[in-house]
Amino acid sequence: MASQESRRITAADVARASGVSRATVSYVLNDTPGQTIPESTRQRVQQAADELGYVPSIHARALASRSTGIVVIDSSTIPPGALVAGATRSLSRGLVDRGYVPVVNQYTGADEAGEVLVTLAQRLQPVAVVALGGLDPALTALLEQAGVERIVAPSPGDDPASERIGELAEVQIAYLADRGHRRVVYVTPAEPELAALAELRLAGARGAAAAHDVSLTAIPLHEQEHLADELARLHADGATAVAAYNDEVAVGVLGAAARAGVDVPGALAVIGIDDLPLARRTHPQLTTVSQSDGAAQLEIVDVDAVLAGRTAILPHPRPRVVVRGSA
């Protein structure tokens, strides 16, 4: 673990040393108007900051002094998952440490994502919008019209989140093909708001199927009884594996297979995506594709660099298959 001298002192360190909350430290160090804080508390916070050698971010201070201090973290254009959740938590923590107020705008469906984000910008007047996925140029223009001066997003040609949508399905199909499966069923989610993302992932699966000489049949996630009948019919027709849009869809497939009397993995292999905790709680345990390469959890070490657009928000680790009992 790095010593305190070898890392940047944060507002959280000052809060611990002075025995107050991070919010109080932020109010004192940023001289936030409208806050009633006893002078003795102010002096204690300032003394702790001086003793620790706390150096406030010039960039943060410039932004905070001009407006609300709110930063919108936008993941409305990419599907949820462990990687996105980890990046959001780390970025939020880093922003709070520097006196910002993070507001998270999560996935809402392609048709509504831009409208919700613009509404947030108009009502909250954030100092910045940090997008984990790509933003359409027209949407960026609307955010600028709403008064957002700093918009950080992957460039159109460098959006790892968009690339990963289809790539994960490619890994699923390649894994199944390597194990001899030549008739695969791809099960899409039932939620209409996921339709656009499901099409992107299905396109990745179809491309991989063509490359590996695999016949691919796509069906939606039906109600259990209907899905059970569909799986039984497709299995009787020669299908030996199912690639699911994500782990939650895969769990539905496992239940339908059990209802249909189709043994998993003996007669039908099932693989998901995301490596959610529930993947280890199914029977059999779910084989899945993880978005992590097994490295340590993402840590945002320089929020200023993120806000300035000098560092990637989401890493692009190599997807890996987590082999368990279902495939």
pLDDT above 50 (res 94): yes
d(Cα 109, Cα 65) in Å, to the nearest integer? 34
Three-state SS at 182: coil
Domains in the chain: ranges and CATH: 4-56 (1.10.260.40), 161-295 (3.40.50.2300)
Only one residue has tokens 């909250």, namely 124
- At 146-157, the pLDDT tens digits run 888 889 887 655
Average pLDDT, the chain: 83
Please give the pLDDT value at position 296.
42
Please give the pLDDT value at position 58.
47
Point out the least confidently predicted range of 56-65, 144-153, 162-171: 56-65
d(Cα 77, Cα 197) in Å, to the nearest integer? 9
d(Cα 184, Cα 269) in Å, to the nearest integer? 9
CB under 8 Å to 316, separation ≥6 — which residues? 160, 163, 164
| Predicted structure pTM score | 0.65
pLDDT above 70 (res 250): yes
Written as one string, the DSSP assignment of 36-97 is: ---HHHHHHHHHHHHHHT----HHHHHHHHHS--EEEEE-TTS---HHHHHHHHHHHHHHHH
Band (295; pLDDT cuts 50, 70, 90): very low
- The neighbouring-strand residues paired with 129 are 72, 151
- Check residues 216 and 136 and name the one with the higher pLDDT: 216
